Chain A
Amino acid sequence: MSTLTFPSANSRTPALGSLLAGPAFTAALYFLGAEAAFLIGTLSDRIFAPFWPPNIVLFCALLLAPPRLWWLYLLATFPAHVVAELGVGMPMPQLLVAFATNCAVALVNAAATRGLLGPLPWFDSLSKALLYVAITAVASPALVALGGAFVPILGGGSVYNYWTFWVQWCLSNTVSILALGPVVLTWLSDRNRPAAHLSSGAIVEGALLSAGLFLVCAFAFESGKGAVADGLLPAILYLPLPLILWAAIRFGARGASVAILVVAVALLWRTLNGPNPFSADTPEESVFAIQAFLIGVSIPVLLLGTAIEETRRAEQAVRKSEESMSFAAIAADLCLWHFNYRSDQFWITDHGRRMFDLALDAPVTKQSIIDAIHPHDQPAARSAIRSVALSDRLIDTEFRIIRRDGSIRWVRARARADRNARGEKIKISGTFADITTQKAAESELAQQRRDLAHLMRVSMLGELSGSFAHELTQPLTAILSNAQAAKLIMANASPDFAEVAAALDDIISEDDRAGKVIHHMRGMLKKGEAKFEPINVNDLVGSTLRLLNNELIARRVTCDCNLTKELPPTSGDPVQLQQVLLNLIMNAVEAMHGVSSSRRIITIRTRTLGQGKVSIDISDRGTGVAPTHEHQIFQPFFTTKERGLGLGLAICSSIMKLHGGTLDLENNPDEGATATLVIPGEDVHLVS
């Protein structure tokens, strides 16, 4: 909604031509206004007009002009005033006083409204409209009329009639400002509003209304004479009222003021020209009555129009904000809902009905929403609803819904309880968002990460195939030797059966050992989701080192273990955690490639940190991490190895994150580097 701001005192001085255009135009309008006033009619002195537009012209001009140029406007209107008043034969002293009071009322109105009401528009706020009426229709005319009353006196009126003249002058200005002021001011404020056009229907309605008003006025006044005698005058006077109210209700303050203008002009003209419809003794008395009537009707109607306009604007603003909110919600693929505890009613936007695949006209209840939720997710959803009711926090939860066609969608719900002043929960408000595509992308990402980790595992297994072969060879050797020993014993004349039984027992346990190696290898080759199970970190370190035993011997690396007994219980995916350990130990081995074999020592330490956390430190005595690489080592595809892919540490890091743990790599103070794994305790929530 745009506002018309008045030019202030320090506005830039315009060129002379445009500087004078305003005052000249004002002067012309002032003159035309005066002529119109005379045309409508003057009182018996043929000079004093009960409806006087020039003051409104000057008032509006002063509103538009910067205050420091006001003198120019007053100066320019003076000749127009002189010409108009001389035209009706007004003597000079009277003319000068009339001009002074006209200027005074316009100045007081302009200064007071500018100061107290601020920028236009004024007729969309009841308080502003009230203030406008108080200033321009009451205070200002009452004040200036103290001087204005001298105009008729100077024209030959009796000084004893001073208060009559005061009332006449006052009412004349009040009627003018009420009938004409709002018309001009609403037009001025609408002028700068881009979309203030009336629809064609409204124009037709306005035209019909105006014509109706004229007809009613004409009928009322023509039939007035007889009616007065019958005591029907009040009824006839109020004949235009329904039309005025119609205008106020349909067109707000603008319609009200135009209707009042029409009635005022018609009434006054009819009263002052031709036979007096009100059969008062003098036209002055009739005019006084009409003015009183007009003021009495126009002020409430004007305020009514303003109030209607204000309400309509407020409604529009609410509708607009609702529209923009619902647009924003739809654009974000959100649906809005709330659930009222007292009435047990559930409200949801149409977008939400479509999301849940509910009929647009069917009633929605809390139960129908819960019924749509996937059975597996219903307990979680119910507990989320309970926690919303208990806390003031925003609850954020995700669940699946089953649509009528059987398709499954992921929905994210956020909700909060609204409470009244006493802290009682009234309703839950929230949003639903369809996150199916996001979920699909997440699961695809997780799948890719799993694939990559698996690929790295397989490739590492290839590198360690010698170790695995060795791990299998040992039990096979033991089995074969035991079997052959048993055979030899049996070939004896007096076989030692106890020894044979011992050999067979050993065969069984060695076979079991070989089976475990194969099972282990199969686990590493297997591709699948992470399976969390209780893990003994020390055992994990031991089994990893057994697997690497051959590799460590071949590369002449000694492993020094410093394991803390009785670690707190931890859980994780053994295959993935072993993959991390294998990767880190092999990194440590490779880091010591250039170091003399007596110093190729890896130290593995397990420790208990606070909060049930367990850490594994793997230290080498190799070259360490170059300072320039410190920030890159966990980046995918960063490698310092000649044939490395640069994925090892990145994958290890993501595996640790999946376990809710961390992986850090730091140089030791003396030589080499230490990789530190932290695994959270078993009770810590795992991001699976």
Chain B
Amino acid sequence: MSFVTFLVDDDGGVLKALARLLRAAGYETRAYASPQNFLAKYDPALPGCIILDLAMPGLDGLALQQELAEQDPERPVIFLTGTGDIARGVRAMKAGAVDFLTKPVDGTQLLAAVDRARRKDDEARNARANREGFERRIARLTPRERQVLDYVVLGRLNKQIALALGTVEKTIKVHRGRVMAKLEVRSVAELVRLTERAGLGPTR
């Protein structure tokens, strides 16, 4: 799936010109004249970035950013502003904007920002794909194996785990081997790293 630039600006002339520029630079571009319009047709599954005018009637850029953050937190957002409103720029950046550009925006700057956004989106998508794969593998574990995994990640020895689960060291050893095999990891260090990245703490 190719990278899409979603363009939202209430000014028709600006919207048309920016869309033309992005298309000329080779991006697939979808232009929306209002935030409401954009939200109604937005597909979070598509890879891409959003280019938002900060000052729009009804729902302004910052409010739209907040709304997006709830359903699509990783989506990179580039802000455009007609007035160099520093306070709102800072707020936008804190809320995770990739860039904050002042109109009239220079094409090279905008394209550079879009490029950065694409890389960020790619990374985010890759990370998400990795995370999702790991989670799928974890789902293959039996409840007992899942319990063992939690203790392993905490750095417990087989003997300690067996004591805690009320079984013998040998059984734990078998479980541990299966966990490693099902999660497709070769070392405990790799296991710890993956679980951390997936945000999985012990189930206890």
Contact = CB atoms under 8 A, between A and B. Distances in A.
Answer yes or no: are A and B bound together in one complex. yes
A475 B104 CA distance: 9
Contact of B17 (A482, A489, A558): A482
B105 A478 contact: no
A499 B20 contact: yes
Given A466-B83, A481-B21, A485-B24, A473 B57 contact: no
A520 interface: no
14 contacts: A470-B83, A473-B104, A475-B13, A477-B18, A478-B11, A481-B21, A482-B20, A485-B17, A488-B21, A499-B24, A506-B17, A509-B13, A550-B82, A558-B57
Contacts of A541: none
Nearest to B80: A477
B112 to A, nearest CB: 13
Interface in B1-17: 11, 13-14, 16-17
Given A489-B24, A506-B13, A550-B55, A480 B106 contact: yes
Contacts, number: 92
Given A469-B83, A470-B83, A499-B20, A488 B25 contact: yes
B33 interface: no
Given A473-B104, A474-B13, A484 B21 contact: yes
Contact of A474 (B21, B58, B82): B82
Contacts of B82: 469-470, 473-474, 477, 550
Given A481-B17, A481-B21, A473 B55 contact: no
A475 B57 CA distance: 18
Interface in B23-45: 23-25
Interface residues of A, number: 31
B38 to A, nearest CB: 17
B55 A480 contact: no
Contacts of B16: 478, 506
B88 to A, nearest CB: 9
A488 B107 contact: yes
A633 B60 CA distance: 35
Given A489-B24, A506-B13, A510-B13, A553 B55 contact: yes
A112 interface: no
Contacts of B17: 477-482, 485, 503, 506, 510
A480 B57 contact: no
A478 B13 contact: yes
B21 A485 contact: yes
Given A485-B21, A488-B24, A553 B60 contact: yes
B14 A478 contact: yes
A351 interface: no
A554 B55 CA distance: 8
A509 B20 CA distance: 15
Given A480-B105, A485-B107, 12 more contacts: A474-B14, A475-B13, A477-B104, A480-B107, A481-B21, A481-B107, A484-B107, A488-B25, A488-B107, A503-B20, A558-B57, A558-B58
B103 interface: yes
